[in-house]
Amino acid sequence: MTPPATTDVHGDRYAAVHVEELDDWAWLLGRVEDWLLHADDETIADWARFAGPCGEDIDDVTDTLGRASVRMRDLARGRP
């Protein structure tokens, strides 16, 4: 069964997901964040090549991953 999709007041679409899935996604984002925070020089150089000269640097990416992970965990635990 496809989850119901709706729009918010801005017209942005979103879909309902199971709370357990939010917790799984939060775990995965946290693992990627941790990996990037402890990346070796070669991985950081690979990221810079992948992102390009105008792309997000690795610190911005880990910050976004961390905030998204915390937000998902809060939602999974019923916090506003």
Q: Residues with Cβ < 8 Å from 33, sequence gap 6 or more?
A: 62, 65, 66, 69
β strands within 18-67, DSSP E: none
pTM score of the predicted model: 0.72
> Residue 7 and residue 5: Cα distance in Å, rounded?
7
Q: How confident is the model at residue 25 (pLDDT cuts 50, 70, 90)?
A: very high
Reported as a single tens digit per residue, the pLDDT across 26-79 is 999 999 999 999 999 999 999 999 999 888 889 999 999 999 999 999 988 888
Q: Of 67, 59, 69, nearest to 25 (Cα)?
A: 69
Q: Of 78, 57, 59, nearest to 67 (Cα)?
A: 59
Which pLDDT belongs to residue 1?
62
> Residue 65 and residue 80: Cα distance in Å, rounded?
19
